[in-house]
Amino acid sequence: MKLNDAGLMIERWYFDLKNKFPNIQCGEFVCMPNHIHAIVINVGADPCVRPELPVQAGQTHENGQTHENGQTHGSAPTAGTSLSRVVQWFKTMSTNEYIRGVEQNGWQPFSAKLWQRNYYEHIICDEDSYLKIAEYIQTNPQRWREDTYHV
């Protein structure tokens, strides 16, 4: 897959995730003409933490209980940076730069939204799964002609 300027911009923002979020590492990535595949590795996540559970008022997963005087008491295990926060930042930054590319460089305009509302996520539980998914990402360009949404 030979990336155009927009594709190179998307790739750059993906690999910049590790600079914005210190507990995030960037795994395999491919930018296709109408979608991307990526493995986002959250090295700060404690696998025993369930970040989907509600947090009590005055408490965060990172800091534990916060008192009115601002001091913390105890410490909850970290959930790392949530994937939704990482994806939101990536989509925001890449959309803003794409808009600049449309205005300044004549990139193809988009209607409504550049990115779809949601995204597909899968938790990789072991090395075998990682290797299979990484191979799927790496070989995705070879399957482009078979893509249902191939333009």
Q: Note whether 74 and 59 are within 8 A (CB).
A: no
Mean pLDDT of 1-5: 91
Q: Which pLDDT band holds residue 64 (cuts at 50, 70, 90)?
A: very low
Q: Which pLDDT band holds residue 81 (cuts at 50, 70, 90)?
A: confident
Mean pLDDT of 30-41: 94
Farthest-apart Cα atoms in the chain, separation: 61
Taken in order of first residue, the domains within the chain and their CATH numbers are: 5-45+80-146 (3.30.70)
Question: Residue 96 phi/psi, 5° resolution?
Answer: -60, -40
- For residue 116, what is the DSSP state? -
What is the reported pLDDT for 131?
96
pTM for this model (two decimals): 0.75
